[in-house]
Amino acid sequence: MSATADRLPRLLTLVPYLLARPGADLSEVAEVFGVTPGQLDDDLRLIWMCGLPGHTPADLIDVWWDGDTITVSNADTIARPLRLDVDEASALLVALRMLAEIPGLEDRDALDRVIAKLEGAAGDAAAVSAHVTVDIHAEREVVAAIREALDRGRRLFLRYYVPGRDETTERQADPMRLILVDGRTYLEAWCRKAEGVRLFRLDRVVGVEVLDVAAEVPHDAEPRNLDEGLFQPSPNDQLVTLELTNGGRWVADYYPCETIEDIGEGRLRVSLRTPDTRWVRRLVLRLGGTGRVVDPPELAEEVRADAARALAAYRRSDTPAMSAPAPDGS
Amino acid sequence: MSRRKTERLFNLVICLLATRRYLSAEQIRHAVPGYAESDDAFRRMFERDKEELRELGIPLETGTDSVWDDEPGYRIRRASYELPEISLEPDEAAVLGLAARVWQRASLAGPASDALLKLRAAGIETTEAAPSGIEPRVATEEPAFPALWRAVRDRQPVTFDYRNPNADAPRRRHVEPWGVVSWHGHWYLVGHDNDREAVRVFRLGRITSDVQRASRPGSVIVPEGVNIRDIVVSGSDHPWTRTARIRVRQGAGHGIRQNARSCIPGSDGWDDLDVAFSDVRRLASWIGGFGGDAVVVSPPEARDAIVSLLSNVAEVGA
């Protein structure tokens, strides 16, 4: 609840909050409600003026300041907070149901119980939450191994597929946390091979083993600030410009682009940074003409050469089923 | 809202909660300080106050205590106002705290933290600390999300411009929204498309205009037993019932090998793999990404598709 939003809902929550916690610390309460101590003090002075009809001293809400603590009494009429509205009930229920889909979460039982309790408390407001669903994709066995390593403070052995290079790599990593962003699960870990913090997409983990070695995450290993987005390209990465036709526009949805420009007829010109242009070559092959490299020109030439090399295999007589002629006479 | 108005409304809520009988406007005028002297000004103020309370979700009731009352009265029933008794075990409170963090700065973040605050006001202690090492986030950055969520909530039809991937220009669509689903990291709207007269799935990122509400709230009827998630998933995943034979260079094509049903190692530096697929164009696009390391052997239409795909790339700009 922000300080500028309507004060009335805040007051109606603040009173029961304080009734339940006599002698609450003023600055702690201000923090919980997201207001400054000065604003909270002003709220309390307003509450102090209010009460039951008649408004004699016996009817008014009592507010006691004692140093930095605060006690509220004589407010039985509004001793309970207002019930949850549809948005509030949905926000919690949708998130809880999403968490309940994470495989291997040992708090699963607690989730089921809290969902049932909240549905009961929210009443009709809970019904709408069924119309919002967050589907998550998590690999059960991989998640279980990572959770075990996190709980026991163990190192992991990972076999990890890197599609951009079409390589399966092997490495040891000390797990830091599991991250679930927009339906995908990632392991954030200190990679001992790269000697840095790395993100591993769980659907690309080919094999995982919990090692009998204690994890050692360096103290200065910085977890990623998720508010800035999962992928923060380095300014040293190669800048690539692509032109996409309508059929290739999905690229702009799937990859973090630096610029996206509509150039008419449903076409886009996008630029993105990459530490390794090999994945761009694969991407443009996959696009099959619905996207092309504009810049750098050498990369465009490489992609054309890749395609020509791949096509050659369909013309050689040693490839089986060569009896099927290639279309377009090419 | 001015301080005086907040004070008046706060007193009004207390007054209407405290009464068992319906109070007439005149009784309220005398019981709650801060109302205007003149009758007209009072009536206007009181009308606005009632409206504001309802907007805040406060269940204001109108009625009479006996058939002899010719004027309607007002009250707030505590049973409909108050959050019902709820108590949580420590492990339940911990996962609730985690759930409230899921939305972070997304558009449901405000309601999530308001809800948590109300539960705390009801005496529940939630912890900010997450259970060990899990950080779940859901973004709702698509500009269309807040408007579509409100339309789903209020069961109100919507119109918007939508860019179909196979069409050059966006088209105006008229939709009865049934629900929104986040699937594979993207948000989708499921609903009845009134132009096509059929159930359709819309990707929020392809909506190119503001979402406008059409018609009255409550006019959308979601059919019984509809599972919006299944509609999104089934629209995207066709059963992979067909099999293609791919020749893959040894030491390469790991992505294909992981998804292969079987692998016959060859002696010429190439292995023969069988993979399942549903759509030849998607298969061609996937295998095409491996360039010269993978060759489609069969079926013939998959070979045709990949030759056409690669030819397009080889000829682009040439």
- The better pLDDT of the pair B317, B23 is held by B23
Q: Look up residue A327 and give its DSSP letter.
A: G
Say if the Cβ atoms of B136 and A20 lie within 8 Å: no
Flag if A8 and B15 touch (Cβ within 8 Å): no
Please, which residues have CB within 8 angstroms of residue B2's CB and are 6 or more apart in sequence?
A: none
Record the tokens describing residue B99, joined without a space. 């759930």
Structure ipTM: 0.82
Which amino acid is residue A33, in one-letter code? F
> Are the CB atoms for A131 and B179 separated by under 8 Å?
yes
Per-residue model confidence (pLDDT) at position A316: 67
Q: Which of A2, A11, A13, A106 to mutate to test the interface with B (most CBs of B within 10 A)?
A: A13
B193 bridge partner residues:
B175, B198
Give the list of residues 6+ apart from residue B164 with CB closer than 8 angstroms, or none: B171, B206
A87 to chain B: nearest residue by CA?
Answer: B111
Dihedral sign of CA atoms B121, B123, B128, B134 in order: negative
- Give the A:B interface size as CB pairs under 8 Å: 370
Quote the minimal CA–CA distance from B158 to chain A in Å: 16
Q: Which residue in chain A is spatially nearest to B119 when comparing CA positions?
A: A81
* Residue A214 at interface with chain B, using a CB cutoff of 8 Å: no
Helices (H), A24-85: 26-32, 37-48
Q: Which of residues 6-45 of B touch A (CB under 8 A)?
A: 6-7, 9-11, 13-15, 17-18, 31-33
Residues facing residue B102 across a β-bridge: none
Reported in sequence order, the residue ranges of B6-68 that DSSP labels E, i.e. its strands, are 23-24, 60-63
Torsion of CA B113, B114, B120, B121, to 10 degrees: 160
B308: chain A residues, CB-CB within 8 Å: 288, 327-328
pLDDT of residue A173: 96
- For B126, name the nearest residue in chain A, comparing CA atoms only: A32
Residues of A in contact with B11 (CB under 8 A): 50-51, 55
Per-residue DSSP letter, A275 = S
C-alpha span between B230 and B238 (Å, rounded): 12
- Structure-token pair, residue A152: 């026991």
Closest CA of chain A from B63, distance in Å: 20
| φ, ψ dihedrals at B298, nearest 5° | -155, 165
The pLDDT value recorded for residue B132 is 60
DSSP class of residue B82 equals B
φ, ψ at A54 (rounded to 5°): 105, -50
- pLDDT band of residue B247 (cuts 50, 70, 90) is very high
Burial B296-314 (b: 16+ CB within 10 A, else e): bbebeebbbbbbbbbbbbb
* Identity of the residue numbered A323: S
In the block, residue with structure tokens 């019902």 = B84
| CA-to-CA dists, residue A47 to A51, A243, B10, B58, angstroms | 8, 61, 8, 19
Q: What is the mean pLDDT of chain B?
A: 88
* Interchain contact B221–A (C-beta under 8 A): no
Least Cα separation, residue B245 to chain A (angstroms): 10
Phi first, then psi: give them for residue A170, nearest 5 degrees: -120, 135
A52–B18 C-beta distance less than 8 A: yes
DSSP string, A74-128: S-GGG-SPBPP-HHHHHHHHHHHHHHHTSTT-TTHHHHHHHHHHHHHHHGGGGGG
Cβ separation A320–B297 shorter than 8 A? yes
- The answer, for B235 touching chain A at a CB cutoff of 8 Å, is no
What are the tens digits of pLDDT across the range B87-135? Answer: 888 888 888 888 888 887 677 888 998 999 999 999 988 765 555 677 7
Per-residue confidence (pLDDT) for residue A233, from 0 to 100: 72
Peptide bond into B239 cis (omega under 30): no
pLDDT tens digits for chain A (330 residues)?
444 447 999 999 999 999 999 999 999 999 999 999 999 999 999 999 999 988 888 899 999 998 899 999 999 999 999 999 999 999 999 989 888 887 766 678 889 999 999 998 888 888 888 888 887 777 778 888 998 898 899 999 999 988 878 888 999 999 999 888 877 889 999 999 989 999 999 988 989 999 999 999 998 888 877 776 777 777 778 899 999 988 888 888 788 888 899 888 888 999 998 888 888 999 999 999 899 999 899 999 999 999 999 999 888 644 554 444 444 433
**Residue labelled with tokens 């699960």:** A185
Among the residue ranges A251-265, B21-35, B283-297, the one predicted with the least confidence is A251-265
- Chain B, residues 142-171, CB within 8 A of chain A, namely 149, 152-153, 163, 165-169
Whole-angstrom distance, CA of residue A37 vs CA of residue B252: 63
φ/ψ region of A144 (left if φ > 0, alpha if ψ in -120 to 50, else beta) reads alpha
* B80: contact with A, CB 8 A cutoff: yes
pTM of the predicted protein model: 0.80
Report CB contact under 8 Å: A166, B252: yes
Give the span between the Cα atoms of B86 and B96, in whole angstroms: 13
B232: confidence class by pLDDT, cuts 50, 70, 90: confident
Give the pLDDT of residue B30: 92
CA distance B208 to chain A (A): 12
d(CA B130, CA A172): 26
B291 has a chain A CB within 8 A of its CB? yes
In the chain, the amino acid numbered B164 is: N
Q: Which residue of B has its CA nearest to A225?
A: B135
Helix, strand, coil shares of chain A, percent, nearest 5, are: 40, 25, 30
- Show Cβ contacts of residue B295 under 8 Å, excluding neighbours closer than 6 positions: A310, A313, A314, A319, B246, B247, B248
Cα B318 to Cα A196: distance, rounded to the nearest angstrom: 42
Query: In this complex, is the C-beta atom of A128 within 8 Å of any C-beta atom belonging to chain B?
Result: yes
Q: Which of residues 170-189 of A touch B (CB under 8 A)?
A: 175-184
- Interface check A124 vs B, CB under 8 A: no
Bridge-partner residues for A158, per DSSP? A171, A208
Q: To which residue do tokens 């490489």 refer?
A: A302
Q: Which residues, other chains included, contact A226 with Cβ-Cβ below 8 Å and sequence gap of 6+?
A: A179, A181, B104, B135, B137
* Whole-angstrom distance, CA of residue A47 vs CA of residue A16: 12
| Residue at B281: amino acid letter | R
- Virtual torsion, Cα B199, B200, B201, B205, nearest 10 deg: -140
Out of A85, A117, A177, name the one closest to residue B133 (CB): A177
Average pLDDT for B285-306: 92
> Which A residues 71-90 touch B at CB under 8 Å?
77-78, 80-90
Q: Distance between CA atoms of B189 and B193, rounded to whole angstroms?
A: 11
Q: Which two tokens stand for residue B227?
A: 């599972």
| Cross-chain residue pair B10–A8, CB shorter than 8 Å | yes
